[in-house]
Amino acid sequence: MSKRVKNLIAAELEKRLTGADSVVIVDYSGINANDTNKIRGGLRKKNVQLTVIANAQGRKALEKVGLKAGTELLLGTNAFVYGGESVVDAVKELLVQAKDVANLKIKGSVVEGKLLDTKATEALAKLPGRKELLSGIATLAVSPGRKLAGQIVGPGRNIAGVIKAVIEKKEKETPAVAA
């Protein structure tokens, strides 16, 4: 392959990784075409991409997008997994796929410029995803307001209950006959 073609491949890979704050690097050796399609299909559902790369072009691309720490993992046959809402979603899906495809192994990842080994990357799957974190934050933000509204409404509700009880009691009493 000519140097010009290699540079074009590295530039395309760099373009794909631009804007990504993380990338998971997987060992891709021994995976057949059927398994590849299955893995990519599962990842695609999470809006995550898998790209098999040549190590030299992968190193160039990682350096240019600020994920240089991952270059030391590029030995052997590798693929980059990137995209989606968060790296947590990508790792969760990779672990699901790895149960069916024995040869799929996570080598590590680069998350916000920091290199994580295999165990640390797999531990990411135990964390809540972006949606879960945002819903938790929203719940925490709304909680004080909900409590305050309950405190404000509570006394009014008690007064309304007392008035209703008095009305029901008066309705049950026999009406006085006018003379």
Tell me the three state secondary structure of residue 75.
coil
Q: Are 20 and 82 in contact (CB under 8 A)?
A: yes
Mean pLDDT, each 10-residue run in order, the chain (179 residues): 83 82 86 88 87 85 82 85 84 86 86 84 78 78 80 82 86 67
pTM over 0.85: no
Tell me the three state secondary structure of residue 53.
strand
**Burial label, 2 (beta-carbon count in 10 A; 0-12, 13-18, 19+):** exposed
Q: Are 51 and 61 in contact (CB under 8 A)?
A: no
Q: Are 106 and 118 in contact (CB under 8 A)?
A: yes
Residue 2's pLDDT is what? Answer: 82
Domains of the chain in sequence order: 3-127 (3.30.70.1730), 128-179 (no CATH)
Residue 179's pLDDT is what? Answer: 53
Residue 178's pLDDT is what? Answer: 57
Q: Are 97 and 42 in contact (CB under 8 A)?
A: yes
